[in-house]
């Protein structure tokens, strides 16, 4: 992971906003939400501690921005896997779920933040949209599988939430280190095991 540039020639940073997001994510994963502070993030970027206020207001503003950006990358992670999958609809849903796990495992702290609800409560429209988009990604494919819209049919909605709950719970248990079973396996074996688990739901 490339370090955020500490030195610069100009008085202005150039792209401080992006740099703060990057550093913010690093701080988040190093210290957790508990130790998160704007000053620490500023320090990491090599900028005055009052500079972040110009872009995010306060710490919560930065966290919301992080979560929003996180949801976009989350969706991308699912799409990337899905696009590589065979045409068959179940395979595509399974592939999206793998993308879900990819993201959770590569950015566990951010994943937690996004689904925490504490820091980013309601009241942020951009965040809500990004979050909703990633839900719809899964809902659409399950609807296609069932050839009926989840929004119209409660049974299809139950399918969607069963898939979603399963992959979400699996991800959360995985990153909290509670999946002893899977710990010793190779990536391929892990995928095969998760396939067993997930296919029980969309079979």
Interacting residues with its own copies (CB under 8 A): 32-34, 36, 112, 115-119, 121-122, 131, 135, 154-155, 157-159, 161-162, 164-173, 175-179, 181, 193, 196-198, 200-201
**Contacting residue, 58, 88, 91, 189, with DNA by CB under 7 A:** 58
Name which position in 23, 59, 67, 97 contacts DNA (CB under 7 A).
59
What does the alpha-carbon distance between residue 149 and residue 195 come to, in Å, rounded to a whole number? 25
Rounded CA gap, 154 and 157, in Å?
Answer: 5
Cβ proximity to its own copies: between 14 and 169 the closer is 169
- Distance, in Å, from the CA atom of 97 to the CA atom of 82, rounded to the nearest integer, reads 9
- Within the chain, where are the H helices? 16-35, 38-45, 53-56, 59-84, 89-106, 108-114, 125-146, 154-175, 180-183, 187-202
Residue among 53 and 119 whose Cβ is closer to DNA? 53
Residue 18 interacting with DNA (CB under 7 A): no
Binding at 86: pick from its own copies, DNA, none (beta carbon under 5-8 Å per type): none
Residue with Cβ nearer its own copies (10 or 155)? 155
Helix axes 187-202, 89-106, angle to 10 degrees: 130
Q: Give the footprint of DNA on this chain (CB under 7 A).
A: 10-14, 16, 37-40, 43, 47-51, 53-55, 58-59
């Amino acid at each position: 992971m490339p370090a955020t540039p500490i030195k610069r020639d100009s008085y202005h940073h150039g792209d401080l906003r992006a740099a703060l997001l990057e550093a913010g994510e690093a701080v988040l994963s190093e210290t957790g939400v508990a130790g998160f502070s704007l000053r620490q993030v500023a320090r990491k970027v090599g900028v005055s501690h009052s500079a972040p206020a110009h872009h995010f207001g306060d710490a919560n503003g930065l966290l919301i921005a992080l979560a929003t950006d996180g949801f976009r990358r989350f969706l991308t992670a699912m799409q990337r896997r899905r696009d590589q999958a065979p045409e068959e609809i179940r395979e595509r849903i399974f592939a999206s779920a793998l993308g879900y796990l990819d993201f959770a495992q590569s950015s566990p702290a951010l994943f937690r933040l996004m689904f925490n609800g504490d820091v980013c409560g309601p009241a942020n429209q951009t965040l809500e949209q990004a979050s909703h988009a990633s839900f719809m990604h899964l809902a659409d494919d399950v609807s296609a599988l069932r050839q009926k819209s989840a929004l119209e049919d409660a049974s299809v909605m139950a399918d969607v939430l069963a898939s979603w709950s399963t992959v979400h719970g699996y991800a959360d248990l995985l990153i909290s280190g509670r999946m002893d079973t899977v710990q010793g396996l190779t990536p391929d074996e892990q995928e095969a095991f998760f396939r067993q688990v997930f296919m029980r739901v969309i079979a």
